[in-house]
Amino acid sequence: MAALAAVALHLALFDRGLGGDGWATFAFVESVLDDGDTNLENNHRGVMNGLLARPDGHLVMQYPPGTALLDAAPVLLARAADAALPGAWLAAGVAVPPVGPVPRRTFLEIAAIVATRNLAVLLGLAAIAASLRRLGLDDRQAGAAVALTFFAGPLVFYGLVGASHAPSFAVASLLLWVLVRSEAEPSDRLALAAGALVGAAVLVRYSAVALLPAALLVRPATVRRRAVGLALLGCALPLALLPPFWRLHHGRWLPLPYGGALEPTLAAPWNVLFAPQHGLLFFHPALLVAAGGLVWAAWRGAAGKRRLHRVALLWLLAVATLHGWWSDWANPGGWGQRFVTDALPALAVGFAALAAGRWRRAALAGAAAGAALTWTLFFAAAGGLARAPAGHPWPQRLADYAPLVSAPPSPAELRDAALRSSFLLRAATGAVPTPPPP
């Protein structure tokens, strides 16, 4: 499919390394493999994002174990590759931000983790495409919805980062496939699978619990209570791994406090959706077109699909509400509104409703324009063209990008931005970009 090929090209061309969160799970994997323990004070390389101190002083990661489990295979493959490659190749190591030069083996491990994240994104998008085809869309319509789901949202950045957003998105996309299939073929097995996928997603990111309301609405084979019970049972099975993990890693049967605080407020979900600081409306405007498609299809769309569209709308609101309750909902330490990542499969259903609707050309043209804006913001931030306000690593508002409109970058500045944002381009050309302006 052309859409998946375009996404794969973007994922291959650009890179963001492990990011902040990814270093914590990487430290965990290295500690287990190299030290035989889960104490991370000698594994963090100075990157403290995502690490907590136990009462006994040992450093631990604040994340559930799912991402670390997924990282074990690529790390082991990278170590096998390091042992097989000629010793002279990259013998001096590779500079990896933000830690600086690292040995070849470490670089290969990081590259393998990021490549696995790229594959997770492609798997999730393929599951969405299969779901939309099952809903009756043709290849072109499904391809348009899939391309917009990626390029119009935060995955354009977070699909490149070795953090947990890509695998969480992939599991959420599989949930969409189960829900779509259950609409035509309801069964107890699918109800159990829907819950199990939510449990698996929570093992990757605790906040994926916001997927549970949608899973509980899986179409029942017999009675609603049975389907709900099976979904809850399926969710509980993977989560049974958490208390032993907390006891092993945190030294207690309950987790250590996560960063930030949960503060239920009526400001959610509107803060995540509409705030000028990293709000969905401003950074990812095409996703609001998709949300509008969901609202329209839930009440005015094809009668046989309205139930699924309402489930998808609830899915979006549940994800946005939970993250809107979190004290760090604006994501000041990151780029864009990454907290809607788990809602992207639901928004894909909104894009699909528009692609099959009466006004599809106008709707998809508007969504494409919004996606172009999101990609431009991504490139400007990743390439160092847009300046972040003091105390922040990334631009926070559209105003931070405004100087690029009044003083557009020159071709040379665009070339340097591309080199700064792409390890592949730097390696292929041997060019060294100038540092971004202070």
As a whole number of angstroms, the distance between CA 149 and CA 122 comes to: 12
Kindly tell me if the per-residue pLDDT of 357 is higher than 80.
no
End-to-end Cα, the chain, rounded Å: 41
DSSP code of residue 267: T
Number of separate domains in the chain: 1
As a whole number of angstroms, the distance between CA 375 and CA 291 comes to: 19
What is the per-residue pLDDT across 217-267, written as a single tens digit (0 to 9) for each?
999 998 999 999 999 999 999 999 999 999 999 999 999 888 788 999 999
Burial 228-261 (b: 16+ CB within 10 A, else e): bbbbbebbeebeeebeebbeebbeeeebbeeeee
pLDDT of res. 202:
98
Whether the link from the prior residue into 437 is cis, omega within 30° of 0, is: no
Averaged pLDDT, 17-27: 88
Instruction: Return all residues near 436 (Cβ < 8 A) that are at least 6 apart.
Output: 383, 384, 385, 416, 417, 420
Tell whether 224 is covered by a domain: yes
Kindly tell me if the per-residue pLDDT of 133 is higher than 90.
yes
Q: In the structure, what pLDDT confidence band is assigned to residue 90 with cuts at 50, 70 and 90?
A: confident
Q: Is residue 418 within 8 Å of residue 385, measured between CB atoms?
A: no
Q: Sign of the C-alpha dihedral, residues 74, 129, 378, 413? A: positive
pLDDT of res. 303:
67
Tell whether 390 is covered by a domain: no
Kindly tell me if the per-residue pLDDT of 429 is higher than 90.
no
SS3 (DSSP) at 44: coil
pLDDT of res. 438:
67
Instruction: Report H helices in 85-205.
Output: 104-134, 139-151, 155-158, 165-184, 188-204
Q: Average pLDDT of the chain?
A: 92
Distances in Å between the Cα of 231 and the Cα atoms of 51, 212, 219, 226, 416 are 32, 9, 11, 9, 51
Q: In the structure, what pLDDT confidence band is assigned to residue 200 with cuts at 50, 70 and 90?
A: very high
Q: How many CB atoms lie within 10 A of CB 57?
A: 8
Tell whether 421 is covered by a domain: no
| Percentage of the chain exceeding pLDDT 90 | 74
What is the per-residue pLDDT across 296-320, written as a single tens digit (0 to 9) for each?
888 877 767 889 999 999 999 999 9
Tell whether 387 is covered by a domain: no
Tell whether 159 is covered by a domain: yes
Tell whether 95 is covered by a domain: no
As a whole number of angstroms, the distance between CA 322 and CA 260 comes to: 13
Q: In the structure, what pLDDT confidence band is assigned to residue 287 with cuts at 50, 70 and 90?
A: very high
Tokens of 146: 């899939």
Q: Is residue 51 within 8 Å of residue 57, measured between CB atoms?
A: no
Q: Which residues pair with 60 in a beta bridge?
A: 52
| Percentage of the chain exceeding pLDDT 70 | 99
Q: Is residue 281 within 8 Å of residue 243, measured between CB atoms?
A: no
Burial of 166 by CB count in 10 Å (0-12 exposed, 13-18 middle, 19+ buried)?
A: buried
Tell whether 391 is covered by a domain: no
Tell whether 75 is covered by a domain: yes
Q: In the structure, what pLDDT confidence band is assigned to residue 209 with cuts at 50, 70 and 90?
A: very high
SS3 (DSSP) at 155: helix
Kindly tell me if the per-residue pLDDT of 355 is higher than 90.
no
pLDDT of res. 358:
73
Kindly tell me if the per-residue pLDDT of 349 is higher than 90.
yes
What is the per-residue pLDDT across 135-157, written as a single tens digit (0 to 9) for each?
999 899 999 999 999 999 999 99
Give me the residue label for tokens 């730097």: 426
What is the per-residue pLDDT across 29-67, written as a single tens digit (0 to 9) for each?
999 999 999 999 998 888 888 899 998 889 999 999 999
As a whole number of angstroms, the distance between CA 27 and CA 186 comes to: 42
Give the DSSP H/E element, type plus range, for residue 195.
helix 188-204
Of residues 89 and 432, more confidently modeled: 89
Domain that residue 129 falls in: 2-85+101-248+263-381
Sequence length of the chain is 438
Kindly tell me if the per-residue pLDDT of 21 is higher than 70.
yes
